[in-house]
C-alpha cells in the first residue's frame, strides 16, 4: 500500500488591485478621480487579490473583509466586516463580499456596502484563514464611500436621470439675484469634482461640533442624509465653530473678499482648508447656499440652489413682518429687526424623511445663512417643502421659520409724532418668484407653487391659519387674519408707502410708483407716479417722494434723493406724474450698494482654438489642446474708471482661479483681454468672469463651452 500525503500551504497574498478606473466610472465618480477608489453605497464594486503560491480554494480557505471608518478604535459603528461567499444567502450581513471570478493565482471579489452605510473615508483590510495554516492579515488600502442617488434603496434615491445629472453631476449653474421686477442670473462655479474638494468636504464633517464632542456617535450617524445635511448647514457658516464662511452684511470688506466678488465655491473651500479651517471672509446668503450646494453634491446628495424674492425674516415667530416708515416715505430701522430681503437664497436637498409622517419626503429646505438658531446652533432644516406648503409647521426641522420666509404677512406702520399708526397689511408681498435653474438648461424655473398655494386663494388662507394656530400654543401672540383688506384704502406697495404731512393717510386715493425702464448704472432713473381718486370728493394731495439705498437683506441705508409732488384730483379722476432721478444723485449709492446692476456690460466670446504646434483653426474646444477666450468689457460712464481687476475661473477649464490686472478704462471705451487655457475635462463647461473697479462693483459674465474628448 502506498500512502500519498497532500501538504496544503497557507494562502498568501502579494498585491491587490482596486480597479479604480472601472469602479469609478460605474459609480459616477470618475469626475473626481481615476487614481483612487471612490464608490457609492448600495452598489457593487470589484477588487482583485493576487496570491503568491496558489489560488483560492473555497473548501480550504476563508477570507474575511473588514472595513473601518472613523476613529481607529473598536467602538461600535466604526468597523464592519463581510465573509467571502460564492452567492448571497438569505440572511444578508451589512457588507456583502461575493466571488466574481477565481483564477489560478487571483481572485476577483465583488463588494457592496449597505445602502444605509456611513459615508466617509474607509480602510479595507482582509483576514485569510487557511486549513492548517496561519491567519494572515493584510491592509489592502483606502477608499471613499458616498451617498448613492442611483440606488433605489438609498434614502437620497432620485428616479430621474436628467435630475441626477443636474442636481448631482452638474458642476456649474446660476443663482438668481436682484428683485422680483429685475431677476438676474449670476453664474457660479460649484466645482464639486475639482481636485481635493472631496477631501475638503470630508474634513468639514470631521471639524463639526458633533464630531469634536462625540466622534464615535458622529461616525455612526453619517449614514443619515438628514444628519449630514444639518451638520453641513451649520459648518458652512462660522457662527458656532470654525466653519467655512464669515458672514457680513454691513459695509467694508477690505480685510477680505466682498461676497459679490466670488465666482465659485472652489476658491472658498480651498482657502478654508489651506488655512487649517479658518473662516473665509466674506459671505452672504447666495455664497452660503452655493458652497453648501458644492459640498452636498460632492457627497452625493441631490441639491439645488433656490432664490426667494421678497423673503421674510420673522424674528419672533408670529408670521408677521413689521415695516416702519416716516412721513417722507423713508424706511426706518426696524425695532423688532424683522426684515424683508429683496432676495434670499437657500438650498433644497432630495431625501426621504422616515422621521416624518408619510408623504413629506422629497425636496427639503436647508439654509446655511446664519439667521436664527436651531437647537442652539446656527443652521436651518431640513424642512419638508411639502410641509411648508401645507402649513405643517410643527414638523422637523425649522418648518415654522421656513414658512415665514415664503408666506408671512407684512404690516406697514407710519411713525409720526412719536406714535405708530398701522397703514396696511399685505398678505401677498412675501415669497415671490421662487426660482431655481432649470434641468439641463440655462433657463429659470419658477417653483413658487411648491411652497404655497396661489396667493389669495382659499387654500392659501387655510394653510396660513393652520400654521398660525399651530404656533399659538408656543406662546406667540395671536394675529387675526380674516381677510386681505388694508387697514386703510391707501395702496402704495413698491418702495414702501408714500409719506404725508399728517399721521392720517389720505382716504380713497390710489398711488402707485413704477419705473418706466430698468435702472442701469450711468443712466438717469425715470418713473411715473400713477394716482387715482376713488372718492366722490375733490382731493388736493401733497406727496413726499424719496429714494434710498437698501442692502439686499432689507436693511435701510441713507436717502439719496427727495422730492415733493402737488396733485389735485377731481372725483374718479386719474393722473400720471412723470419723475426723474438724475444719475449724479444715484451714482454713489449704486456704486457702493447695488450689485449686478450693470451685468449687461460684460460679455465673453470664444475665439480661435489652436492645437499644439498647429496653425489651423480647429473650431472646437478639445481636451489637451489650447483654447483661446476673449473677454470684452465696456465703460458706460463719461469718466475714467480705475483699479479694474478681472477674475476668471471654470471647472475643467482652469486649474485655479486667475486674476488679471487691467488698470484704467477710459470714458465710454471698450477693452478686451485674451485668455488662453488647456481644457482637462470634456463635456459641457462654463467660464465665469467677474470685473471689479473703483467705480462699479462685481460685474458678472459667463460663457458655456462644450469640450470634446482628446485622443
Residues 433, 185 contacting (CB under 8 angstroms): no
Tell me the whole-structure pTM to 2 decimals: 0.85
To the question of whether residue 83 is assigned a binding role by annotation, the answer is no
To the question of whether residue 455 is assigned a binding role by annotation, the answer is yes
Confidence of residue 701 (pLDDT cuts 50, 70, 90): confident
To the question of whether residue 460 is assigned a binding role by annotation, the answer is yes
To the question of whether residue 333 is assigned a binding role by annotation, the answer is no
Please report where in the chains the cell 459695509 appears, as a residue.
251
Spacing of C-alpha 254 from chain mean position:
25
Active-site positions? Answer: 285, 344, 367
Q: What percent of the chain has pLDDT over 70?
A: 84
- Is it the case that residue 240 has pLDDT exceeding 90? no
* Number of neighbours of residue 545 by Cβ within 10 angstroms: 20
Residues 245, 236 contacting (CB under 8 angstroms): yes
- Is it the case that residue 297 has pLDDT exceeding 80? yes
- Is it the case that residue 539 has pLDDT exceeding 50? yes
Residues 268-286: tens digit of each pLDDT: 999 999 999 999 999 999 9
> Which helix (H) or strand (E) covers residue 256, if one does?
none
Q: Which domains does the chain have, with CATH numbers?
A: 13-146 (2.60.40.10), 161-471 (3.90.260.10), 509-601 (2.60.40.10), 614-707 (2.60.40.10)
Mapped onto helix, strand or coil, the DSSP state of residue 594 is: coil
Report helix angle 285-299 to 197-206, nearest 10: 100
> Residue 671 has what pLDDT?
83
275-302 b/e with 16+ CB inside 10 Å = b? eebebbbbbbbbbbbbbbbbbbbbbbbb
Confidence of residue 587 (pLDDT cuts 50, 70, 90): low
Higher pLDDT, 132 or 440: 440
Mapped onto helix, strand or coil, the DSSP state of residue 292 is: helix
Confidence of residue 597 (pLDDT cuts 50, 70, 90): very low
Task: Report, as an integer, the average pLDDT of 100-109.
Answer: 94
Mean confidence (pLDDT) of the chain: 84
Show the cell assigned to 147. 451617498
Amino acid at each position: 500500500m502506498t500512502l500519498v500525503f497532500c501538504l496544503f500551504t497557507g494562502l498568501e497574498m502579494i498585491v491587490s488591485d482596486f480597479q479604480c478606473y472601472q469602479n469609478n466610472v460605474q459609480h459616477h465618480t470618475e469626475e473626481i478621480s481615476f487614481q483612487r477608489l471612490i464608490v457609492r453605497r448600495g452598489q457593487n464594486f470589484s477588487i482583485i487579490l493576487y496570491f503568491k503560491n496558489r489560488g483560492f480554494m473555497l473548501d480550504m480557505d476563508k477570507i474575511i473583509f473588514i472595513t473601518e471608518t472613523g476613529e481607529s478604535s473598536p467602538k461600535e459603528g466604526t468597523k464592519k466586516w463581510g465573509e467571502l461567499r460564492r452567492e448571497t444567502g438569505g440572511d444578508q450581513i451589512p457588507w456583502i463580499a461575493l466571488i466574481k471570478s477565481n483564477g489560478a493565482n487571483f481572485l476577483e471579489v465583488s463588494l457592496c456596502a449597505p445602502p444605509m452605510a456611513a459615508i466617509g473615508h474607509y480602510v479595507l483590510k482582509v483576514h485569510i484563514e487557511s486549513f492548517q495554516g496561519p491567519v494572515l492579515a493584510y491592509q489592502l488600502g483606502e477608499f471613499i464611500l458616498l451617498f448613492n442617488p442611483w440606488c433605489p434603496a438609498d434614502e437620497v434615491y432620485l428616479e430621474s436621470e436628467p435630475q441626477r445629472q443636474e442636481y448631482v453631476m452638474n458642476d456649474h449653474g446660476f443663482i438668481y439675484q436682484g428683485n422680483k421686477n429685475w431677476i438676474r442670473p449670476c453664474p457660479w462655479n460649484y466645482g464639486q469634482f475639482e481636485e481635493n474638494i472631496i477631501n475638503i468636504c470630508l474634513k468639514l464633517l470631521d471639524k463639526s461640533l458633533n464630531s469634536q464632542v462625540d466622534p464615535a456617535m458622529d461616525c455612526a450617524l453619517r449614514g443619515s442624509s438628514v444628519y449630514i445635511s444639518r451638520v453641513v448647514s451649520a459648518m458652512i457658516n462660522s457662527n458656532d465653530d470654525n466653519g467655512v464662511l464669515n458672514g457680513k452684511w454691513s459695509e467694508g470688506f477690505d480685510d477680505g473678499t466682498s461676497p459679490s466678488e466670488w465666482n465659485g465655491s472652489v476658491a472658498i473651500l480651498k482657502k478654508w482648508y489651506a488655512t487649517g479651517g479658518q473662516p473665509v471672509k466674506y459671505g452672504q446668503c447666495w455664497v452660503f447656499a452655493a458652497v453648501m450646494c458644492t459640498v452636498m453634491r460632492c457627497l452625493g446628495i441631490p441639491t439645488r440652489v433656490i432664490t426667494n424674492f421678497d423673503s421674510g425674516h420673522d424674528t419672533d415667530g408670529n408670521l408677521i413682518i413689521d415695516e416702519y416708515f416716516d412721513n417722507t416715505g423713508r424706511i426706518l430701522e426696524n425695532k423688532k429687526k424683522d426684515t424683508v430681503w429683496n432676495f434670499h437664497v437657500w438650498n433644497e436637498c432630495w431625501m426621504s424623511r422616515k422621521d416624518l409622517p408619510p408623504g413629506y419626503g422629497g425636496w427639503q429646505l436647508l439654509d446655511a445663512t446664519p439667521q436664527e438658531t436651531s437647537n442652539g446652533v446656527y443652521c436651518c432644516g431640513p424642512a419638508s417643502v411639502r410641509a411648508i406648503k401645507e402649513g405643517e409647521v410643527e414638523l422637523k426641522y425649522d418648518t415654522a421659520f421656513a414658512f415665514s420666509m415664503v408666506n408671512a404677512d407684512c404690516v406697514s406702520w407710519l411713525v409720526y409724532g412719536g406714535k405708530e399708526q398701522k397703514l396696511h397689511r399685505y398678505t401677498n408681498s412675501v415669497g415671490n418668484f421662487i426660482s431655481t435653474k432649470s434641468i439641463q438648461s440655462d433657463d429659470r424655473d419658477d417653483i413658487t407653487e411648491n411652497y404655497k398655494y396661489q396667493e389669495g386663494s382659499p387654500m392659501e388662507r387655510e394653510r396660513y391659519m393652520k400654521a398660525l394656530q399651530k404656533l399659538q400654543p408656543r406662546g406667540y401672540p395671536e394675529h387675526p387674519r380674516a381677510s386681505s383688506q388694508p387697514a386703510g384704502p391707501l395702496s402704495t406697495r413698491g418702495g414702501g408707502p408714500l409719506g404725508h404731512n399728517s399721521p392720517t393717510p389720505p382716504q380713497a386715493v390710489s398711488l402707485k410708483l413704477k419705473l418706466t425702464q430698468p435702472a442701469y448704472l450711468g443712466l438717469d432713473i425715470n418713473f411715473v407716479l400713477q394716482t387715482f381718486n376713488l372718492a366722490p370728493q375733490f382731493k388736493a394731495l401733497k406727496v413726499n417722494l424719496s429714494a434710498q439705498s437698501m442692502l439686499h437683506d432689507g436693511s435701510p441705508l441713507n436717502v439719496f434723493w427727495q422730492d415733493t409732488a402737488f396733485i389735485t384730483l377731481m372725483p374718479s379722476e386719474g393722473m400720471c406724474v412723470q419723475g426723474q432721478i438724475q444719475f449724479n444723485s444715484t451714482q454713489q449709492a449704486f456704486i457702493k450698494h447695488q450689485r449686478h446692476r450693470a451685468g449687461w456690460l460684460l460679455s465673453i466670446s470664444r475665439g480661435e482654438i489652436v492645437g499644439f504646434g498647429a496653425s489651423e483653426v480647429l473650431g472646437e474646444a478639445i481636451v489637451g489642446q489650447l483654447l483661446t477666450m476673449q473677454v470684452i468689457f465696456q465703460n458706460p460712464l463719461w469718466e475714467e474708471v480705475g483699479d479694474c481687476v478681472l477674475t476668471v475661473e471654470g471647472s475643467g477649464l482652469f486649474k485655479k482661479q486667475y486674476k488679471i490686472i487691467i488698470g484704467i478704462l477710459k470714458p465710454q471705451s471698450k477693452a478686451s483681454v485674451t485668455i488662453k487655457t488647456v481644457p482637462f475635462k470634456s463635456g459641457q463647461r462654463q467660464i465665469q468672469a467677474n470685473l471689479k473697479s473703483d467705480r462699479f462693483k462685481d460685474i458678472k459674465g459667463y460663457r458655456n463651452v462644450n469640450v470634446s474628448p482628446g485622443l
